[in-house]
Amino acid sequence: MSDTTISFKKALASIPADERYNEVPLGGSLTVGIYAPHESDDPHVPDTDVVYLVVNGSGFFVTAHERQPFGPGDLLFAAQGTERLFEKFTPDFAVWVIAAG
């Protein structure tokens, strides 16, 4: 596998205007994407463990177990099968989504 550099700005710009998520092709069993919801988020139950790396914005990350504030640089985790939701986030909110499995 060769080294790959992924630009956050390019990945964010690649999300179609009417979409919230765009996957970045890497290969292998690792899935990486950029998620930038518009105004609201829908509850989601991931089918794998997922790590979210907050790049822009702030708000609240809600799981079945807790509601916690987040901001740029924070790493958030949603276990497989656990519902998650982003709430009251700023308009510039965007995260890297990293999943394996």
All residues at 6 or more sequence positions from 84 whose CB lies less than 8 Å from its CB, including other chains: 43, 44, 45, 46, 50, 61, 62, 63, 78
All residues at 6 or more sequence positions from 48 whose CB lies less than 8 Å from its CB, including other chains: 31, 80, 99, 100, 101
Domain positions in the chain: 8-100
User: Is the model's pLDDT at 39 over the cut of 80?
Assistant: yes
Cα 56 from chain centre: 11
Q: Report the range out of 20-29, 37-46, 86-95 with the highest average pLDDT.
A: 86-95
Residues 46 and 50: their CA atoms lie apart, in Å, by 7
The model's pLDDT over 45-64, given as tens digits with 9 standing for 90+, comes to: 989 999 999 999 999 999 98
pTM: 0.84
Q: Which CATH number fits domain 8-100: 2.10.240.10, 3.90.1580.10, 2.60.120.10, 3.40.50.2300?
A: 2.60.120.10
The model's pLDDT over 88-100, given as tens digits with 9 standing for 90+, comes to: 999 999 999 999 8
User: Is the model's pLDDT at 1 over the cut of 60?
Assistant: no
User: Is the model's pLDDT at 24 over the cut of 90?
Assistant: no
Average pLDDT on 30-56 reads 91
pLDDT value, residue 17: 73
